[in-house]
Structure 1
Amino acid sequence: MSSSPTWRAVTRSPVSFLTSAAPWRSLAYVASSGLLGFLSLVVLGGVVVCGLLLSVLGIGLVMLAGSALLGIPLAALERRRLRLLEGPHTDRPASPHGAVARPGLWPWLTTRLREPATWREFSYAMVFAVLLSLVDLALLTMAGLLVALIVAPVHVALASAQPEALVLTGIGIAALPVAAYVLAAAAAAQSWFVRLMLAPREGEQTDRVVELTRSRARMADAFEAERRRIERDLHDGAQQHLVALVMTLGLAELEFGAEGPAAGKGGELVSRARREAKQALDELRDLIRGIHPQVLTDHGIAAAVSEVAVRCRVPVAVDVELAGRLPAQIEATAYFFISEALTNVVKHSGAANATVQGRLAAGRLSVTVTDDGAGGARLRDGGGLQGLADRVAVVDGRLTLSSPRGGPTALSLEIPCQHSHSVSS
């Protein structure tokens, strides 16, 4: 409880505490707790009583089992309501529930009823409805009586000219600091209980991290499968159509040429269309090569980077030494990183030279792209480098940037890579 912002406020000097927002936040928290607890008592009590009365019919047993699920929305609201007490920027506890493997109501019900967190939340709901709500209502009653003790004597003194009644007002005002401390201490104790009962336990956090890791791996696999589908469609569909179009236009150009000057403007238009079709075909091939070049699939990241360096308009020195092949997803991510980094060098840096270095050591792939350009690059929300960082984060990679004004710029990537395999012959 010592880590609670409200409890820290209570332990400060009286002047600091009484002039802060903590007493007012505590009053709002206790007031909302009292009202929410009373509502929870009515709902939970009604469901449990109906379940007991109807248990002889069988449906009551279903209602009793279902009542355990009522703690889930209450717990979610309680975790969110902590910000009312501790401030909007305070981190509230995460949900302790894991993901449901299959869609549908029945898988959700069976998963939740098997989780210890569900029964812990139901236990909290019962304590909150039966005990804590009564405590909160008692504290609210105390605060209401104190306000009445302050206000009522003033009204009496003004209405009946009895100034001695103001003595009670003075007593009420003197009791305000005590009431503020009581409310704050009670609110801090309740928030501690909320975190104790409703925050994820260590095992639940581990399960949640494992599920998030698996989800990220599934997302990466889905992205790779979609990438391969797009590449296949472009190669087997649009590219083949463009090749056929170029050949057809070439034949048409020969036909017009055979007719001599009579071909006139028609032959010129056919020749122009053929040139534009060939340009579109070249651009499409570059696009396919940029998505995932065949050399990367056949020979690995070192050969693919060398090919990128040859096509780059800025001279690039390649120093990539890897013993064997890496997992396909790691190779694809590293290639995308290098390709995008060199594209940024060409477009934005004004560099005369660039270098690509890659090493695999201690279970980590490290790749660095440097240039001698003007520098000043920054990671900005919505920018290309931020998108690159998001892409490498899918494989648990980390992006670092060093780009002082005047250069040089060094963009580095580190990816956990626990194994590699030799190139099959």
Structure 2
Amino acid sequence: MSPSPRSPKAVPGGAWQALARPGFLRSPWPWRSVGYLLATGGSGLLLCLLLVLGAVVAGGLAMVLIGLPLLAALALVGLPYAALERRLLRLLPDRTPVESPHRTPDGPGLPAWLRTRYREQATWRELGCTALAALLLWPIDLTAVGCAVFVPLWLLATPVLLALDGEQVNVLKVWQIHDQPTALALALAGAVLFAALSYPLTAVAAGRATLVRRLTGRTEPDHRIGELVRSRARLVDAFEAERRRIERDLHDGAQQRLVALAMNLGLARLDAPTDSLLAGRLADAHREVGQVLAELRELINGIHPQVLADRGLPEAVADLADRSPVPVDLDFELPGRPPPAVEAAGYFAVAEALANLAKHSGANRARLTGRYADGRLGVEVSDDGRGGADPARGTGLTGLADRLAVVDGTLTVSSPPGGPTLLRLEIPCTLTDPSPPRSE
């Protein structure tokens, strides 16, 4: 598909490449540079005035603590201004478009958005760009346009101004011109000067645009990190889909065949003579098939429990709590269903936490809670055991943290010697379909 006329790729090369071409003066690049520097200089001047006013107001109100939120909000002033700068870069299009460096917040709502933005390096790079534009760059922009455009235009207008006045004209408030030949010479000098200054003017504009691209655009590490995140998400989804496929094949294939075999062996036992050698061998085979079937069901449950796929995370966690050797008080409610990868990670993390609790804690009772708030699934597992859980000692907590890290989750452990122990799991996600009702 061919690029649209407004696409950056519609213009061959960028300003730096245009400077090296023979037809530069006949191209639109000098005028693009003038428009770009006028826009950035004017917006920078306005930004400077607004920042000074905002700082004065916030500083005055800080005496009564009202201005503190305003001062904190000044750190985010770079976000809209950087977006404006990226839009102004369309006046100097390049082969590579400028993408926003910001990532999607972890969840809905203002708190999640603020948390994400304050933690991003891009926010502080854009704040630095905003400070440069407000304090340093706008005078350079306007000075460059004044020297490269308005001075030559003034010289070019000298004959017209002299004709209108009839006697004399002050050129640049320095020279007094009384005759038309001198005025025409100055006009010619203005034309030559405008052509000569178009090159440094475009270089200034291109240099400023390059700086803005580096400060407000997505950097190469950002591209690599973004691709790694997307690649990891694809791998997690593929792994989860493969695990579901294996679970389905075992459930619908091997398990059903073993069930049929067990039924046939049971019928054969009924037909065999009582207390015969054949009846004994059929009974042994029937028992072995039953054990294999039980082990296969445990294996299927370990790959991907059916209750998790059918009923959701709260019901699956309730099943884990029921099967735990340590009594568990359960308080787990979700207003919807997380993505399958998050559900699986949360389920197996809870399963591993309860297994570690039963093996190492010496607890008499445990408590398991789960909530969804601020775009994050939070699960807490606590017990009244001996404490002293340390991921460095290989108690399974390291593997649990690694499992959560696959879906950007975090693990927090509080386990002083003597107890109690508290494990908190947090996974950023967005809930989709409503959770099915808990079965009684």
Normalised by the length of structure 1, the TM-score is 0.49
Structure richer in helix, relative to its length: 1
Normalised by the length of structure 2, the TM-score is 0.47
